[in-house]
Amino acid sequence: QVQLQESGPGLVKPSETLSLTCAVSGHSISSGYYWGWIRQSPGKGLEWIVSMYHSGNTYYNPSLKSRVTISIDTSKNQLSLRLSSVTAADTAVYYCARQILLTAPDAFDIWGQGTVVTVSS
Amino acid sequence: QSALTQPASVSGSPGQSLTISCTGTSSDVGGYNYVSWYQQHPGKAPKLMIYDVSNRPSGVSNRFSGSKSGNTASLTISGLQAEDEGDYYCSSYTDSVTFWVFGGGTKVTVL
């Protein structure tokens, strides 16, 4: 059974960098899927942030690209997200998710439970 | 404002069918068959219900079906059950700047 588990600090100060980790179990992060991050602001809809293949091919949401760093650690079977220069607008539940790869990256079929991040001084 | 347009809410009685629409453009819904639908219960992560317009992942009830016509995709829930209450989001690949976009979500209420 594939499971994803996000972790990271729940509170980040404005202008600092948000760092999250997603531990993947039950499936090798190196095989056949993209891996991504999606967030959901309080009471709002879903916003895709970034998707990455273990080989390094990466797609970014242009509105966040300048502040986003994503990485995959195959030895630990985990992916990480860093979002710099955060503001209150970055307050959200952050989800990591597995992304189906057929002829191209496709739907997100497995999601973590999400981790709440609040940006506040 | 979300890139894909969904009704804010729909409702139906147990046993009935209801349909949620998701309207985009020729750059996303109308141009590609990478439309997916997600169900979200309060405080839970989204769950994939439909991918590639009309495909159901293993384990998803066949009461859920998807279709597309032009720039509008639809999710139909037949034989509505209380457990179907929740928020539903559509998503699509887009060849505009963003790659993947979501709708604003539709709250489904079972009367």
pLDDT at B96: 83
How close, in Å, is residue B74 to chain A by CA atoms? Answer: 16
When pLDDT is cut at 50, 70 and 90, the band that residue B30 belongs to is very high
Residue B73 vs residues B2, B25, B35, B105: alpha-carbon distances, Å: 15, 11, 7, 13
pLDDT at B106: 97
Which of A46, A66, A93 is the best residue to mutate to test the B interface, defined by the most B CB atoms within 10 Å of its own CB? A46
**Chain B residues lying within 8 Å of A47, measured CB to CB:** 102
**With 70 as the cut, is the pLDDT of residue B2 above it?**
no
- What are A23's strand-pairing partners? A5, A78
Model confidence pLDDT, tens digit, residues A7-60? 999 999 999 999 999 999 999 999 889 999 999 998 788 999 999 998 889 999
**With 90 as the cut, is the pLDDT of residue B1 above it?**
no
pLDDT at B98: 82
Size of the A and B interface in Cβ pairs below 8 Å: 63
- Give the C-alpha separation, A71 to A52, whole Å: 8
User: What integer is the mean pLDDT of B31-46?
Assistant: 96
How close, in Å, is residue A35 to chain B by CA atoms? Answer: 13
Model confidence pLDDT, tens digit, residues B73-97? 999 999 999 999 999 999 999 988 7
B61 near A CB under 8 A? no
- Give the C-alpha separation, A112 to A99, whole Å: 12
Residue B34 vs residues A50, A80, B67, B77: alpha-carbon distances, Å: 17, 26, 12, 20
Question: B51: nearest CA in chain A?
Answer: A107
Task: For residue A45, give the nearest of B48, B98, B102 by CB distance.
Answer: B102
Q: A42-80: buried (b, 16+ CB within 10 Å) or exposed (e) per residue?
A: eeebbbbbbbbbbeeebbbbeebeebbebebeeeebbbb
Which one-letter DSSP state was computed for residue B51?
Answer: B
When pLDDT is cut at 50, 70 and 90, the band that residue A117 belongs to is very high
**Chain A residues lying within 8 Å of B2, measured CB to CB:** 45
The letter for the amino acid at B37 is: W
User: What integer is the mean pLDDT of B54-72?
Assistant: 97
Cite the beta strand spans of A33-91 per DSSP E: 34-40, 46-52, 58-60, 68-73, 78-83
- Give the C-alpha separation, B69 to B54, whole Å: 12
**With 80 as the cut, is the pLDDT of residue A65 above it?**
yes
**Chain B residues lying within 8 Å of A103, measured CB to CB:** none
User: What are the respective helix, strand and coil percentages of chain A, to the nearest 5?
Assistant: 5, 55, 40
Residue recorded with tokens 């985009």? B24
A104 near B CB under 8 A? yes
Question: B102: nearest CA in chain A?
Answer: A46
B80 near A CB under 8 A? no
- Give the C-alpha separation, A61 to B47, whole Å: 22
Distance of CA B81 to the CA centre of its chain: 17
Pairing label, strands B64-69, B47-50: unpaired
Question: B59: nearest CA in chain A?
Answer: A109
Closest CA to B45 of A8, A34, A40: A40
- Give the C-alpha separation, B2 to B89, whole Å: 11
**With 90 as the cut, is the pLDDT of residue B67 above it?**
yes
| pLDDT, mean over chain B | 95
B89 near A CB under 8 A? yes
**With 80 as the cut, is the pLDDT of residue A81 above it?**
yes
User: What integer is the mean pLDDT of B26-46?
Assistant: 95
| pLDDT, mean over chain A | 95
Tokens read off for A64: 């966040």
Tokens read off for B20: 């949620």
